[in-house]
Amino acid sequence: METREHEVIFENYIRHNSIPEKRNIITSNGSVYLPAKMAEAIFLVMREFPLQKLITRETTGYLKNRVPYIKSNVPVSWTSEGEEYPKFDFELSEKVLKQNKVGAIIKVSEELTADSSFNIMQLLSESFGHALGEELEKVFISGYGNKKPSGFIHDCNNVSAAGSTIQYQDIINVFNELELKYLVNASWLVSQKTLSELSVLADSNNNKLLSPGSSEADGYMLGKPVHITFMPDHSPLCLGDYQYYKVLDKAPEIKHLGELYALEGLVGFRLTQYLDGKLIEPNAICALEM
CATH at 218: 3.30.2320
Residue 74 pLDDT grade (very low, low, confident, very high; cuts 50, 70, 90): low
198 and 61 in a common domain: no
pLDDT tops 60 at residue 32? yes
Does 52 share its domain with 144?
A: yes
Tens of pLDDT along 173-225? 999 999 999 999 999 999 999 999 999 999 888 989 999 989 899 999 999 99
pLDDT of residue 2: 64
Where residue 263 sits, what CATH number does that domain have?
Answer: 3.30.2400
Between 20-29, 150-159, 264-273, the lowest mean confidence (pLDDT) is in: 20-29
pTM: 0.89
Considering its fold, how many domains does the chain have in total? Answer: 2
Q: Flag whether 159 is in a domain.
A: yes
Whether 133 maps to a domain, the answer reads: yes
Q: Count other C-beta atoms under 10 Å from residue 157's C-beta.
A: 19
Q: Which of 172, 175, 222, 167 is nearest to 198 (CA)?
A: 167
| Same domain, residue pair 60 and 130 | yes
For residue 88, being part of any structural domain is answered with no
pLDDT of residue 274: 92
The pLDDT assigned to 62 comes to: 63
Q: Is residue 2 part of a domain?
A: no
Q: What does the alpha-carbon distance between residue 181 and residue 264 come to, in Å, rounded to a whole number? A: 57
**Do 251 and 139 sit in the same domain of this protein?**
yes
For residues 166 and 231, state if they share a domain. yes
Q: Are residues 180 and 208 in the same domain?
A: yes
Res 76: pLDDT: 76
Range of the domain at 103: 36-69+98-149+246-279
Residues in Cβ contact with 10 at an 8 Å cutoff, skipping those fewer than 6 apart? 20, 25, 32, 34, 35, 38
163 and 240, same domain (yes or no): yes
Quick one: 50 and 144 in the same domain?
yes
In a domain, 1, yes or no: no
Q: How many Cα atoms occupy the beta-carbon half-sphere of 136 within 13 Å? A: 37
For 45-73, the pLDDT digits (tens) are 999 999 999 999 988 766 655 665 555 55
Residue 33 has pLDDT above 80, yes or no: yes
Share of the chain above pLDDT 90, in %: 67
**Which amino acid is it at 259?**
E
123 and 258 in one domain? yes
Mean pLDDT value of segment 122-142: 96
What pLDDT band is residue 93 in, cutting at 50, 70 and 90?
Answer: low
Q: Give the Cα-Cα-Cα angle 98, 99, 103 (nearest 5 degrees).
A: 145
Q: Are residues 127 and 57 in the same domain?
A: yes
pLDDT score, position 141: 98
Residue-level pLDDT at 70: 52
Assess whether 230 and 253 both reside in one domain. Answer: no
Per-residue model confidence (pLDDT) at position 88: 65
Same domain, 200 and 257: no
- Listed in sequence order, the residues at least 6 apart from 181 whose beta carbon sits closer than 8 Å to its beta carbon are none
Q: Is residue 1's pLDDT more than 60?
A: no
